[in-house]
Amino acid sequence: MRILLVEDDPIVGDALVTSLGRERASVDWLRDGLAAEAALAGGGFDLCVLDLGLPGRDGLDILDSLRARGDATPVLILTARDGVSDRIRGLDAGADDYLLKPFDTGELLARCRALLRRAQGRGEDRLQMGALCVDLGANSVTLFGRPLHLPQKEFRLLLYLAERRGRVVPKGQLEQMLYGWDEGAESNTVEVYVSALRRKIGADRIRTLRGVGYMMP
C-alpha cells in the first residue's frame, strides 16, 4: 500500500514514517499543503493521512479540492483541533476518519488498515489467492501454509499487486510505489523485483502485459 503522509511536525512525521514502514507501507512524507495537493492530483495513493494546520495550504482546503474533483482516496485527518465543529467540518468535507493528537500509534495503524479494507471491499486483513495468502495484520505471506520471508520491497510489490488483483498496474505506478519521487531508481528495478517474486510464489501468479504493466490474475 502506498500512503501519503502530510504532516509538518518533524517529530510526529518521523515517528509515523517509521511505524507505517513496519506495516510494510510505502510512505511519501510531505510537510507543505501546496506540495501535498500537487501530489494527490497525480494520484496513485491508497490512503492519505492528513494534518490540518499546514504551511502553504490548510488541510481542509486540500480535502475540499480532492473531493471536488471526484477523487475517493481514503483520508484520515490527524490534527490537534479538538473542537466538535472542527470534526464535523472535516467529516462533512469528505474525510473518512478523524484522529486527534496526541494519539496512540497502534490505534492509528488499525484505523489505516480499516480504511484500506473498506476502500477495497474487504472484511478482513487477509488477501487469499489460492494457496497464496498475504496477511496485512501480521505482515506475513504464506504459500501452501508455509511462511515466505520476503524483503521489504518484494512484500510491498506483492501487496500492491494483490490489492489490485485482476487489474493491470502500469510499471510507472509500481516504481512510484516502491521509490516515491526518488529519481535514483534504476529503470529495470521493477523487473528485478517481479522476477524475484516469481521465483518464490510461482511464475504464473504475476502476468506481464508487455509495454503496459503487470497483473495478478
For the segment 43-64, what is each residue's pLDDT rounded down to a tens digit? 889 999 999 999 999 999 999 9
- Judge if 22 and 88 occupy the same domain: yes
Q: Identify whether residues 115 and 49 lie together within a single domain.
A: yes
- State the cell numbers at 15: 515517528
Q: Are residues 101 and 138 in the same domain?
A: no
Residue 81: its pLDDT value, please?
A: 82
- Same domain, yes or no: 204 and 175: yes
Residues 137, 112: one domain? no
Q: How many Å from the N-terminal Cα to the C-terminal Cα in the chain?
A: 18
pLDDT, position 125: 80
Q: Which of 55, 86, 119 is the last residue of a domain?
A: 119
Please give the grid coordinates belonging to residue 178. 516502491
Domain count of the fold of the chain: 2
Choosing from 92, 119, 146, the residue where a domain stops is 119
Supply the pLDDT for residue 31.
Answer: 96
Q: Residue 159's beta-bridge partner residues?
A: none
pLDDT of residue 182: 55
Query: Same domain, yes or no, for 179 and 201?
Result: yes
Give every residue of the chain whose pLDDT is below 50, as ranges.
none
Full 3-state SS string of 2-65? EEEEECCCHHHHHHHHHHHHHCCCEEEEECCHHHHHHHHHHCCCCEEEECCCCCCCCHHHHHHH
The answer to whether residues 25 and 105 belong to one domain is yes
The pLDDT, as a whole number, for residue 211 is 86
Residue that terminates a domain, selected from 62, 86, 119 = 119
Count Cβ atoms within 10 A of the Cβ of residue 214 and give its class: 0-12 exposed, 13-18 middle, 19 or more buried. buried
On whether both 89 and 160 belong to a single domain, the answer is no
Question: CB atoms < 10 A from the CB of 195, how many?
Answer: 12
Are 115 and 174 within one domain? no
- Tens of pLDDT, residues 7-25: 999 999 999 999 998 888 8
Would you state the pLDDT for residue 187?
Answer: 65
% the chain with pLDDT above 70: 97
| Residues 186 and 209 reside in one and the same domain | yes
CATH number for the domain that contains residue 168 = 1.10.10.10
**Does residue 110 sit in the same domain as residue 203?**
no
Task: Please tell me the distance from the alpha carbon of residue 77 to that of residue 83, in angstroms, as a whole number.
Answer: 14
Tell me, what CATH number does 87's domain have?
A: 3.40.50.2300
Do 100 and 183 lie in one domain? The reply is no
Q: Which domain holds residue 32?
A: 2-119
